[in-house]
Copies of this chain bind each other. A is one copy, B any other.
């Protein structure tokens, strides 16, 4: 590592203290390189929100500096926000063939293929982006062709692991290029940024190929029965292992679920899935085969209510009725928050007579404690920045680095928006970048904020009551109404008393306003709202949203 007084800025706009929305900026003088550009899935309290994308303000404010977006792999939380961000910051995107293939599926949907530049790279390749050189290094993960990055600037080299695990016997391609990490470590690495997802888990993550062995046993033990395998659409290697087992046990493969069909099609075109001829079969031809000649690969392993597996479980799938003797393999683990959905699907499948298998049919795509120690030990960085995870994961990963001997002052747990300036003599938080994530709801990007969400929350709890009254202009004389309309409050047909009482309360409020000479619509509405709120709380201990509307006529 050559001595220098120069500084490099590292700016995570997402992915810190959260799962998802990974995006990190590396800035050196007039150059910015962006690593990943993912979405997050909405939190429980983000009612009605479809997805969450990172704040591009800093990029827009430094538009000329941005030299490119570099992708570590093709998962949604690393590529999903590209169609939104590229509209604002149209720069070349670099990624593996599979990652770019999946990105192109998205860009086609958004009609953006003509206006954007994609560049396919391979492990071992280097790309020059301004003063930065980005080298791609082979790793393993739950999607093929995952890449770590060595980002070299005049200040030094940053190694960014991306999402990774150490798999000595992966399905597609080779084991993680440990030798290259070792070489970089010998040459000197300024900082390591590494995946913290599994930092709390001891030991090693099992090889992807161990799942294939389980599949083989299950296929062997269930001859003659229909098999259904649910997994993540993006887990191309998992699908390949189903294909391998199907080949061995002479079954046809049927793919179900929109995202599964998309990914499998792309992966087959690009050669990531090798499917024997005549093996892939259309759902409409299912009647031509016996149960024991079929394996279905489907979405829905997270219990998503609209996914194919959930529809099969609920009995609403157009083509497939779950029947006695079916065997469903959940090749996945519930993401935190999805446990109840998954459990519902399992219960429904059992009720329809299926057997459900969910043991030894999944491995994680992320490195556990011992694998993290291996990477740290090979890379020997001067500084360490844990990435990808909630605070608890970043914290554990930081403790692991300290435990391996790194000085605590050289370990940085960052927040989204932090601007960390790194140099030979240490790191400083020098600034903060705007990082207000944008909520996407339908076609709207960013037009739903906290006030709207708070209203949705309130409406979801106790519903609402609308009070409409028409009065003579300049007076408080009622000429029509008050009418009471409610939704999500009580079942109105059985609660006419409640509605009558509410009407009386409002009439009284208006009278009082008249007698006390209270003027101004907002004041009068407030009186009505308050009286009605108190009345309902006393009567029912409920607190619906109350919306008074006053109309004036001449």
Q: Are A392 and B343 in contact (CB under 8 A)?
A: yes
Q: Is A356 an interface residue (CB 8 A)?
A: yes
Q: Is A124 an interface residue (CB 8 A)?
A: no
Residues 112-136 of A contacting B (Cβ, < 8 Å): none
Q: Are A347 and B392 in contact (CB under 8 A)?
A: yes
Q: Is A406 an interface residue (CB 8 A)?
A: no
Q: Are B490 and A541 in contact (CB under 8 A)?
A: no
Do A470 and B553 contact each other (CB < 8 Å), given the known contacts A346-B392, A350-B391, A456-B461? yes
Per-residue CB proximity of A47-77 to B under 8 Å, as 1/0? Answer: 1100000000000000000000000000000
Q: Is A44 an interface residue (CB 8 A)?
A: yes
Per-residue CB proximity of A457-500 to B under 8 Å, as 1/0? Answer: 11111111010101000000001110101011111001100000
Q: Are B460 and A457 in contact (CB under 8 A)?
A: yes
Per-residue CB proximity of A326-347 to B under 8 Å, as 1/0? Answer: 0000000000110110010011
Do A44 and B340 contact each other (CB < 8 Å), given the known contacts A480-B551, A552-B480? yes
Residues 512-554 of A contacting B (Cβ, < 8 Å): 539-542, 545, 547, 549, 551-554
Partner of A460, one of B47, B540, B549: B47
Do A337 and B340 contact each other (CB < 8 Å), given the known contacts A47-B461, A461-B47, A488-B452? yes
Q: Is A443 an interface residue (CB 8 A)?
A: yes
Residue of B nearest to A544 (CB): B48
List chain B residues, Cβ under 8 A from A43: 340
Task: Say how far A66's CB is from chain B's closest CB, in angstroms.
Answer: 27
Residue of B nearest to A549 (CB): B468
Residue of B nearest to A447 (CB): B490
Partner of A551, one of B391, B444, B551: B551
Residue contacts A-B, CB under 8 angstroms, 30 given: A47-B460, A48-B460, A48-B488, A336-B343, A337-B339, A347-B390, A347-B392, A350-B392, A350-B395, A356-B392, A443-B540, A443-B541, A443-B542, A444-B490, A444-B541, A447-B490, A452-B489, A455-B488, A457-B460, A458-B488, A459-B459, A459-B464, A459-B488, A464-B487, A466-B547, A468-B468, A470-B553, A479-B553, A485-B547, A487-B545
